[in-house]
Structure 1
Amino acid sequence: MSGVEGQLKAFRQKVAVINGVPGVDLLDDNSTFCRKFNTVKKCKAVLGDSLPFLQYFNVWQEDEVVRGLSTSPELAELAGSLMGVKRVRLYQDSLFLKRVGDGCTNYHSDLRMAPFDTNDMITFWIPLIDIPLQGSALVFVSGSHNDLALNFWRSRKQVAKMDLSNRYKDRENHHMPLSVGDITAHSGWVLHSADGNPGPKDRLALAVSYVSADAVIRKGWDKFEAGHEEDFASYGSWVKDVKVGKIIKDNHPRVPVISFPSERYQ
């Protein structure tokens, strides 16, 4: 995909998320939505200055260097070790471009946007430029993936209206400054965010996400919540291949199981 095509796809994805456009329309170049937003200029006219970042999904499918990293046995083994599972599946990678002037990324958890019924998900966040102490790398709420009470005793609408600053007081952590070659890892339910980018350089980072190879597709994956349908641009092309409650085949070309030899699990 050319740079122009990739940029248009990234801008369309943001328009779709912000305006609640059905994901299927985003994936169909002949849809009314794609015909309407057929240039970056038209997308920008709708988005204005509200963007937190641009996101390019599944670069590994087109770029040999990124493919070598995302499908590497070493990274897969590390993901398996952190999740405590013997076999892992590459879910997606995402190239994040936070341009100078882009705003903050709100707190969210990755599994909320994924089509899996599992707790086993690890994302590696890899900066592609040096990020200073006051930069825009990820900020994590440590232990938030264990906060079962938050959603158990409240509806999603109630949680969305809550001020969680006191609940998670003094639990925000980051690992800045970061250098090229560093890597952070977070669980799929960990809340994380990022500050806006004041400059002087655009921030570029690659996120690579793995799930357990035995993760099944959840019921209701197509019932999108406002603001949580962001990943459909990544998984929409393959999720209908798999029945709800079923495991994806090992050799699926878009979400493959990554083999790794390890004495850890012998």
Structure 2
Amino acid sequence: MANADVKRQEVSEEQMAFFQEYGFVQVDNVLTAEEIKELTMFIEESMSEEEGLSVRTSNPEARLNYYRVLNQKVNVWRDHAGMARYTTHPKLASIALKLSGASGIRLFHDHALWKMPQDSKATPWHQDFPYWPMKDQFAHQTLSAWIPLDDVDEQNGCMMFIPGSHKIGKLRGINLSDPQDIFQYVQGTGLDNTQPVNVPLRKGSCTFHTGLTFHYSHPNKTDKPRRVLAIIFMPDGVVYDGKDHVVTKPLKLAPGTRLQGGVFPLLAGK
């Protein structure tokens, strides 16, 4: 990847300010049509594989309710060289570094997210950070890139965000298949009356949001899966808090261990 290509894709000062104020930002045309075509082929191959280091966290037989919300496979980059090229894409890592304000940005994990057609549920309002096994002081510098491989709108599962919700801090995790109402935790803060922002996207564009930003995605009412690559970025120096997580469990890490090395590669900075 040429340095000029990376520089061209970096976010503007206005986008950075928007992200800091509201906890999310839309970045258009981050991947070309040719890249999206290639990535779609790679991710379809990855989702069809049953062996390897990646983990399918839901299936229609064992976890039907969750499957209706999301059919998800975590760490696809570890089993497919093509996926690794996009998960570690320098354009995406450069944007994540700039938005986070960190001196270095690492990969926590990626995941392929299929919202299945017809018999689909909304992904309820939630924060991401409560599910991640990281010490709380790193919460404000964690963020996700959400990259649709199909055009997305209210009909097939685009995202919604609550502007400014990241400023509330870390709340309880929500059970995505039997959800609690996250807004009961923030009554009286103003967030319970804040208007959500709907973010339809054309494929090739994406959003970034912090690990503390409230977000939601619509059910998929179409007859095709809604396909997304999500990439979780964390600042260099993140410390494992000992909480159970599908990514860290096989590593048998001691609480207090830094998440670093080849499993959590440094993608930008430093």
- C-alpha contact 2:126 2:182 (8 A) present in aligned 1: no
Residue 134 of structure 1 and its aligned partner are, at CA, apart by: 4.0
Q: Counterparts of 1:2 and 1:123 in 2: how far apart (Å)?
A: 20
1:108 equivalent to 2:153? Answer no
- For residues 46-65 of structure 1, what are the structure 2 equivalents within 5 Å? 47=64, 51-65=68-82
Aligned with residue 3 of structure 1, among 43, 48, 68: 48
- Using the TM superposition, give the Cα deviation of residue 49 of structure 1 relative to its aligned residue in structure 2, in angstroms: 8.4
Determine the structure 1 residue equivalent to 2:6: none
Question: SS of the counterpart of 1:76?
Answer: helix
Shift of 1:174: 2.2
The structure-2 alpha-carbon separation of the partners of 1:51 and 1:134, relative to structure 1 and needing over 3 Å to count, comes to closer
Q: 1:80 to 1:164 in 2, by over 3 A?
A: same
Q: Equivalents in 1 of 2:60, 2:198: separation in Å?
A: 35
1:8-54 Cα deviation digits (max 9, x unpaired): x63xx33xxxxxxxxxxxxxxxxxxxxxxxxx6742xx626872010
Residue 245 of structure 1 aligns with which residue?
256
Amino acid aligned to 2:239: V
- The alpha carbon displacement at 1:244 in A equals 1.8
Q: CA RMSD in A?
A: 3.0
- Cα 1:162–1:86, aligned 2, differ >3 Å: closer, same or farther? same
Q: Distance in 1 between matches of 2:88 and 2:106?
A: 9
Cα distance change, pair 77–160 in 1 and its aligned pair in 2 (3 A): closer
What are structure 1's unaligned runs of at least 5 residues? 15-39, 153-157, 223-231, 262-266
Quick one: percent identity of the two aligned structures?
23
Q: Confirm or deny: 8 A CA contact 1:140 1:172 kept in the other structure.
A: yes
2:225 aligned to 194, 202, 220, which one? 202
**Residue 75 of structure 1 corresponds to which residue in structure 2?**
92
Matches within 5 A, 1:209-248: 209-218=232-241, 220-222=242-244, 232-238=245-251, 240-241=252-253, 243-248=254-259
Using the alignment, how far apart are the partners of 1:221 and 1:132 within structure 2?
35
- CA displacement at 1:194 relative to structure 2: 0.8
Q: Which amino acid aligns with 1:244?
A: P
Alignment CA distance shift 1:71-1:48 (3 Å): closer
Structure 1 length-normalised TM? 0.69
Q: Which residue type is aligned with residue 237 of structure 2?
A: D
Q: CA deviation at 1:132?
A: 3.3
Superposed counterparts of 1:155-194, under 5 Å = 162=184, 167-176=191-200, 178-194=201-217
Paired residue total = 210
Describe the shift of the 1:208–1:214 C-alpha distance in structure 2 as closer, same or farther (beyond 3 A). same
In the alignment, what sits opposite 1:138?
Answer: 159
- Give the CA deviation at 1:151: 5.2
Shift of 1:95: 0.4
What is the TM-score of this pair, normalised by structure 2?
0.68
Question: Could you tell which deviates more after superposition, 66-75 or 189-198?
Answer: 66-75
1:90 partner letter: L
Q: CA deviation at 1:163?
A: 7.5
SS in 1 for 2:69: coil
Which residue is 1:228 aligned to? none
Shift of 1:173: 0.9
Higher Rg of the two aligned structures: 1
Q: Supply the AA of the counterpart residue of 1:189.
A: L
Q: CA 1:57–1:132 in 2, change beyond 3 Å: closer, same or farther?
A: same
Structure-2 change in CA distance of 1:106 and 1:82 (3 Å)? same
Q: Secondary structure at the match of 1:80?
A: helix
Q: Deviations over 1:221-251 (max 9, x none)?
A: 13xxxxxxxxx2233222x23x3223234xx
Q: Distance in 1 between matches of 2:47 and 2:165?
A: 39
- Paired with 1:99 and 1:115, the residues of 2 have a C-alpha distance of 28
Q: Is the 8 A contact 1:151 1:159 kept in 2?
A: no
Cα drift, residue 141 of structure 1: 1.1
SS in 1 for 2:84: helix
